Amino acid sequence: MARKKRNRVKYFLVAVVLFAIMFAGAFLGIQYFTKTGIFRIPGVVYYDESLNESEIELLKSIFTEEVDLDKDVTISARYSLVKPELNNGEYLYNISVPVTDYYSLDSNIEASEPELLFADAYQSDVAFTMTDIDELDFKKKLLSINNKYYLDDFTEGAVFRTIKFDSAMFDDEIKPLVEETFTKTFPEKSSVLTFAQTGVTALSRGMNSKLVSVGGDATYFAENIKDYLSSFDLTHTSNESSFTTFANSSNICSDTRFIDTLTAIGLDIVELTGNHNQDCGNEAALNSIDIYEQNNIKMVGGGRNAEDAAKPLNIAEKDTNITFLAYNLSTGGATYGNTPGANQYYEENAISEINAAKERGDFVIVDIQYYECSAYASEYEDPTCDRADSAAGDQVGFFRHLIDLGADVVVGTSAHQPQTFELYGNGAIYYGLGNLFFDQMWWPGTTRSLILAHYFYDGKLLQTRIVPTIYDKSLQTKLLDEDTSKWFIGRLLSVRP
């Protein structure tokens, strides 16, 4: 009986051992074939040759020896001249743009392959360097690529760098490791504030007669420029004439229908520093302010009285804060009390207002209605007024002084003929923008103007693109053609201080 019992125990132990061996064999077999457990092979990181040294260094700081992956990952990169559509596992890592000297007359480079733009041996008639978009600022000139300007297009005009992580377990393994480093934001249409500053507008005299001849349709004058100017988030002009029913062919007064010219270009900001806004009387000036308000057009540099005229215009859009100041320092038009008119320049006010804006961290634009150069008496090209020292007073010294006080951009809005421009200190000066709309078609210089196309991102001025315009006897303003623009801007630059 005892012997039978011992046999049963023996058989049980043998069965247990056999079961254990079979279980262990099966367990180890599964691990072997699935490469798990003691047979597990850790995932390997493969760096494709398309990656550059700095990218590999960054990636190795993430995928250290302590990082234990279950699956292999292959990391690669590519350039493109068109903003790519990203798939799972892809990140837009960088945007590079071509820049050149601020005073260069070049505006475009041609490229068939994006890699060529980074090659030392790349042959180009244009001197340029590639810079990261987050290092772009207004002191370098942004070039187009294949006639695509990045800050207007946002999908072309730059070189886009994409990093791709190819892994069977991207969402579970790779994404948590790289998401913070490789998820970036870049300038795009929804985040870049575009602001067009224009020069003198005086919808008056001969324009009043022309308005009658075209059947009273004031949008006629804006027909060739409205699409461009209305495309900006903000559009500005310095209007020197008030609306009145007494407008005629000989006074600087505007037919009331001319408000349609301004709304056609998408006007958001009207500057009232001009010395002719009171030509039609106080009632016309006050009625004009009512018309601007009815059309949701903000005002700067002028108002119903001295206190109203002195108010800075504060702009807060798309994470950018701008303090816009505008003063009259010329031959009349200012208000000194309870009458409507322009904001008279006082040094103590300018210092206080600029300091307050800088303390808030605002970008500061100062417009000045300065003395006018009047060397226009020629039917031929007369470059006299191109110079910043061609009017009364020390224009160069005064404008530079405003930069020294803390202004970021200073603009002259009295010149009927465009003047030169320059970088100075930490800012930029545009001494005169010329006529956007007026009837002075008998002198070539007064038919032109400069549009300052500002591009702001996160409170920083990325670029100011200078875009010339012209009108002829039709009095319809249009963009100047490319070749003439290059010649004209070159002429202005040849006399910069």
My answer on whether 334 and 468 are in the same domain is yes
Q: Which range of residues forms the domain containing residue 87?
A: 45-182
Higher pLDDT, 233 or 4: 233
My answer on whether 209 and 162 are in the same domain is no
Q: What is the pLDDT of residue 119?
A: 84
19-74 pLDDT, tens digit per residue, is 556 555 554 455 444 444 444 477 899 999 999 999 999 999 999 999 999 999 99
Q: What is the pLDDT of residue 35?
A: 46
Residue 166: strand pairing partners: 74
Q: Residue 430: helix, strand or coil by DSSP?
A: strand
In this predicted structure, the answer to whether residue 423 has a pLDDT above a threshold of 80 is yes
Exposed/middle/buried for residue 69 (C-beta within 10 Å: 0-12, 13-18, 19+): middle
32 located within any domain:
no
My answer on whether 249 and 353 are in the same domain is yes
My answer on whether 49 and 129 are in the same domain is yes
CA distance 36 to 22: 18
My answer on whether 170 and 244 are in the same domain is no
My answer on whether 211 and 141 are in the same domain is no
My answer on whether 259 and 396 are in the same domain is yes
136 located within any domain:
yes
Q: What is the mean pLDDT of the chain?
A: 92
7 located within any domain:
no
Please state, in angstroms and as integers, the Cα–Cα distance from residue 349 to each residue in 12, 326, 354, 486, following that order.
Answer: 104, 11, 8, 39
My answer on whether 135 and 224 are in the same domain is no
In this predicted structure, the answer to whether residue 4 has a pLDDT above a threshold of 90 is no
Number of domains forming the structure of the chain: 2
71-106 pLDDT, tens digit per residue, is 999 999 999 999 999 999 999 999 999 999 999 999
CA distance 272 to 301: 5
Number of H helices, E strands in the chain: 12, 24
Q: What is the pLDDT of residue 2?
A: 57
Q: The domain spanning residue 201 has which CATH number?
A: 3.60.21.10
Q: What is the pLDDT of residue 16?
A: 55
Of 444, 492, 447, whose CA–CA distance to 470 is shortest? 447
What's the whole-number mean pLDDT along residues 311-329?
98
Residue 460: strand pairing partners: 457
My answer on whether 332 and 467 are in the same domain is yes
My answer on whether 51 and 178 are in the same domain is yes
pTM of the model: 0.91
76 located within any domain:
yes
Q: Is the dihedral of CA 324, 330, 331, 332 positive or negative?
A: positive
What's the whole-number mean pLDDT along residues 418-438?
98
Instruction: Mark which of 126, 153, 182 sits at the end of a domain.
Output: 182
My answer on whether 372 and 448 are in the same domain is yes
